[in-house]
Chain A
Amino acid sequence: MPQVRIVAKNFMDMVAALPAVKLEKLYDSAFICEAVLRQILSLSPSPPPPPPPPPPPPPPPPPFVVSQSLPPMAKRYILQMLYIDTAVTAKSVEEWLLPDGFYKHKVAIDRLLQLRVFLEVNDRKKETSYKINPKFQTNIQKHLVNGQVVRERVMMCDGHVEGIGGEGGIGYGFQTCTVVLEGAVGGEALTVENAMKEEEDVGPSYGECSDKLLRVEAAQLELEGKLQFVMQRKLAISPIEAEENRFDVFICNCSGTLPREPMPSSTTVRLPTLEDLDTYASEQWEVASSTRFLLQLINSSQAAKLTSFSSSMIKVFQRGLLSSKYSAILENEVPKLTENGFQFLLMDTNAQLWYIIREYISTAEDRGVDPTDLISLLLELSFHSLGQAYNLNTLTDVQRTAIKDLGELGLVKLQHGRKEGWFIPTKLATNLSVSFTDSASNKEGFVVVETNFRMYSYSTSKLYSEILRLFSSFMFHAEYFGYVHFIIAIEDIQIEYQLPNLIVGAITRESLYNAFENGITAEQASINFIICRDIWNYLCCHDYLIFLKLSFQIISFLQQNAHPRVANKIPTVPENVTDQIRLWETDRNRIEMTPSYLYEDFPSKEVFEAACDFAREAGGVLFEDSKNMRVIVHVEVHQDMRDFLRRAPK
């Protein structure tokens, strides 16, 4: 099985990284299973949008993409295996594929195994088979069944359903059963399930055209933003037959029950409006991020806010993002931003949020808090409705501290009545379950970049101005309008004017160079892909393009935060600016140095050839010169080369 290296960029990766025991514990809660599945299906539990239009025809298969959240193929597999109790051999699973779907299949299976949704079972014949995690399975089934049937929908569809999202990996025809359900009783769904189960034949031999061969298939339709399943029953395979049949579909709405209900309005004194919540959330978040990265000490007002943070949060923020410890600040030392910190600033809010939460969870163990509790709390939090108050006494002590910390970040707002306290999830919390690939920031952009390398940023947000300056210059002029600047030795833009809602700057070579220098000072222990762009991920595996990473970050930051006026222009940031930024970066990397060993003075041609072949097999040949009989190998191969040459006949 190919090792699909998934850097833990998002929450699901972190869940996947948990040891097996903890994952099993997590799946105990039905809620968590649904949350994981929801994550998998990438639906956001937002309030239902207006009635959806009829589903579009399946889109053409997307270009080669390895998605960071669970791939559609994996979703499909889960739903397909949902009602199969025994293990399905790997070979049978592979039979479900079209020939060119193989790679995606591997990726999907890997991911599912990582998340322990699929378990591998080795039987005596040494054939691997996959089984869906029983706990996960029961929980999801319960959800399916206990959910209310909201409506029935009949669709005329094409005979071929090619998997979710036009995957193209699985292509066989379906015929759905006409299940007509009226009323909203979960019980009816139960009998239908049972009926289907009886007729189910586990052996997946799809080649047979038999009426008795049924399998419960489920495909996903993103309607109404809630978890809905389309139940289809697959009959004979013949594509011709399938085309002739229409699809009748019923949709059952699954909504689990939260461990807590919103508080009745009589007890809550005054709920903040959604707008208030939003401003609160963004303010808190800004304060949190700005105090994290900017030199609070210089600005005394910021320092006051800093002390209101609990020490645990401080540690979380400092970890990995600033190079010096908190105590160093007291000695007036300048904490420098590490490369990760630099990259962090360029991420969009959701990604930043996830990063902080991940760090928070990783430090949880140090503080004696079980990370699984935290994860379950967070997953539950994403199911709460925006703006509704939930009583604090429904939380355990541990959870209460966690909620307080989250309150500081702006995820929830804490309020107190006379007797009770409650928390209100903000937009940031309800967006938690959305993987950040799907996060469309409806925030307005604010940066305009001109072809003369000037940059205008229309924003009153202190955070952005600090980022641009941080990310930006320490060229600090007395003419500036009374803003205290943070002395960080990172330059990107040279600030020319700063008005209350506008910053004018220029992108200069000097400013960029300093940014590059600071970006590359920290050791690249792990390659953190900031932008979840899969092609970029793929390309970054080649060393050459790693050097362009920083310019890419800078350019993407400018592109993503483009002012609405220029956002529709193609390209958003003028090409001469982007090209120049890249050129400046490559200019710094003109020579490549590799520590190595030079071998010369070979007694004969044969020995030379033999040595070359050996080194080539070890993958360490850097340069070969047959005319002078010299070869240069990598330091790592040197030991082996030496031994080889000693052993070789003279």
Chain B
Amino acid sequence: MVNAIKGLLISCDIPMAQFIINYNASLPPSQKFILHVLDNTHIFVQPSMGEMIRSKIAEFRDQNTYEKPA
């Protein structure tokens, strides 16, 4: 019988995909959100994790930038 799972398809570039996978791996098992890694640019995750992922990426981005203090 065919199974249907509801989730969020994430489509991005390879470094971002790796970032997400790494982030997933760093979480305790109860909080892991990746359902399937489809290929190196697509990931299927739980639907509620969208915002969490975005904020993590934003954090990562900010860590890599430097603003001259005003």
User: Could you tell me which A residues sit within 8 Å of B by CB distance?
Assistant: 475, 477, 494, 508-510, 587-588, 590-603, 607, 611, 622-623, 625, 630, 632, 635, 638, 641-642, 645
Known A-B contacts A601-B3, A632-B44, A645-B2; the reply to A594 vs B9 at CB < 8 A is yes
- Would you call B34 an interface residue if the criterion is a C-beta within 8 Å of the partner chain's C-beta atoms? no
Residue B16 is within 8 A (CB to CB) of chain A in the complex: yes
Residues A601 and B2 in contact in the complex (CB < 8 Å), given A630-B36, A632-B44:
yes
Cβ-defined contact, A622 with B2, below 8 A: no
Q: Least Cβ distance of A520 to chain B in Å?
A: 12
Roughly how many angstroms separate A597 CA and B3 CA in the complex, as a whole number?
10
In Å, the complex CA distance between A158 and B5 comes to: 69
Q: Which of B8, B38, B57, B67 contacts A595 (CB 8 A)?
A: B8
Contact of A509 with B12 in the complex, beta carbons under 8 Å: no
The number of inter-chain residue pairs (CB within 8 angstroms) is: 85
B61 and A587 form a contact (CB under 8 A): yes
Given contacts A590-B16, A632-B9, contact A595 B47 (CB under 8 A): yes
A588 and B59 CA atoms in complex are apart in Å by 11
Instruction: Report chain B residues within 8 Å CB of A602.
Output: 2
Residues in A whose Cβ lies below 8 Å from that of B35 = 598
Judge whether B4 and A590 touch: CB under 8 Å. Answer: no
Interface residues of B (CB under 8 A from A): 1-13, 16, 20, 35-36, 38-39, 42, 44, 47, 50, 53-54, 57-58, 61, 65, 67, 70
Q: Contacts of B6 on A, CB cut-off 8 Å? A: 595-598, 635
In the complex, what residues of A have CB within 8 A of residue B50's CB?
593
A603 touches B70 (CB 8 A): no
Residue of A nearest to B20 (CB): A591
Query: In the complex, are the beta carbons of A509 and B57 less than 8 A apart?
Result: no
Listed by A's residue number, 25 A-B pairs whose Cβ atoms lie within 8 Å are A510-B67, A591-B53, A591-B54, A593-B9, A593-B10, A593-B53, A595-B6, A595-B7, A595-B9, A596-B9, A597-B7, A598-B4, A598-B7, A598-B36, A598-B44, A599-B2, A600-B2, A601-B3, A602-B2, A623-B38, A630-B36, A630-B38, A632-B44, A635-B6, A638-B4
Minimal Cβ-Cβ distance residue in B for A591: B12
Contacts of B11 in A (CB 8 A): 591-594
Complex alpha-carbon distance, A600 and B44, angstroms: 13
Q: Least Cβ distance of A472 to chain B in Å? A: 14
B70 touches A607 (CB 8 A): no
- Determine whether the beta carbon of A508 is less than 8 Å from that of B67: yes
Q: Is B2 in contact with A592, judged by CB distance below 8 angstroms? A: no
